[in-house]
Amino acid sequence: MTALNRTVDSFRYLSPASVAIVKTMIATAARDPVPWTPLPRRLNEATVALVSTAGLSMKGDSPFDIEGERQNPWWGDPSYRVIPRTATEADIVVSHVHIETSYIRQDLEVALPLRHLATAQAEGRIGRVASSHYSFMGYLLDPTEFLERSVPAMLERMGAEGVDVALFVPV
Amino acid sequence: MVPDLTAAAGAPRVAAIEFPFGRPFGQPNDPATQGAVLQATLDALRDASEPGNVAHLPFEWPEALHQVHWHPQEPSPIIKLVSRDPSLYQRLASGDIPPEASRRS
């Protein structure tokens, strides 16, 4: 299952056409200084939240706007959803038209490992699983509205819930 | 995932893994791998000592490349659009994102 000294190939699963797009995104990314916040406390005392790009929403909550993307393929829904720490695949809707979503619907842990995080808490490897976790839909060619509205709202909620560590999980 | 892009976007600490899209922690109903990937990610977070650190996680996907199925059954709207119009693909590949990207319709 594992091999030492692997170097991950970012492009292994992408078609040549998609590689060209992603390489342009990498080349044109803003080269701002990388932010750095030292861990405020040891991981076994820290509160941890997950942030998934999978377009997850709770059943009963409004799902991400896939119809809007079908009407305007350049656009992606820039909003976010809150996922409580107790959520399982039975509670979740996945709205993401760029990946096969059946694996997540079968087992949420493949993208949002809340049960494994709870085990890490029970075994003292992290301090606490945050009450709230977050998802947005990662296809955002223009992330301006996401950065201006959704990110501050997520950060405010994390702050109110005492989150020390946010694990951002691309999908 | 695409750690080169995550790093370019300015993530302070990156745990890179060579798993297919849609399953960053492993296969459904494989809790051993899922838990190990989460712990390796937490270890990478703990051990990162400088901004932009990329830890390459040593996990191998259990399927051969030709067996991996990660694309949606129906191509995404943008793939359908640029497949019909090569000039739009060139636009996307050159990073020339049209203003339509910033509003719903």
Is the pLDDT reported for residue A134 higher than 70? yes
ipTM over 0.90 threshold: yes
Do the Cβ atoms of B6 and A170 come within 8 Å?
Answer: yes
Nearest Cα neighbor of A50 from A98, A120, A99 is: A120
pLDDT in tens, A60-115: 999 999 999 999 999 999 999 999 999 999 999 999 999 999 999 999 999 999 99
The per-residue pLDDT for B105 is 85
* pLDDT of amino acid A65: 98
pLDDT in tens, B1-47: 999 999 999 999 999 999 999 999 999 999 999 999 999 999 999 99
CA distance A87 to chain B (A): 16
Query: Looking at chain A from residue 15 to 44, which residues have their Cβ under 8 Å from any Cβ of chain B?
Result: 17, 20-22, 24-30, 32-37, 39, 43
What distance in Å separates residue B51's CA from the closest CA in chain A?
Answer: 6
pLDDT band at A18 (very low <50, low <70, confident <90, very high): very high
Distance, CA of B54 to CA of A52 (rounded, Å):
19
A169 and B CB contact within 8 Å: yes
Give how far B44 is from chain A: nearest CA, Å.
11
Give the global pTM: 0.96
Question: Confidence band (pLDDT; 50, 70, 90) for A5?
Answer: confident
Residue of B nearest to A48 (CA): B42
Residues from chain A that touch B29, judged by Cβ atoms under 8 A, are: 106-107
pLDDT at A3 exceeding the cut of 90: no
Q: Do B27 and A103 touch (CB under 8 A)?
A: yes
d(CA B23, CA B21): 6
Distance CA B35, CA A102 (A): 20
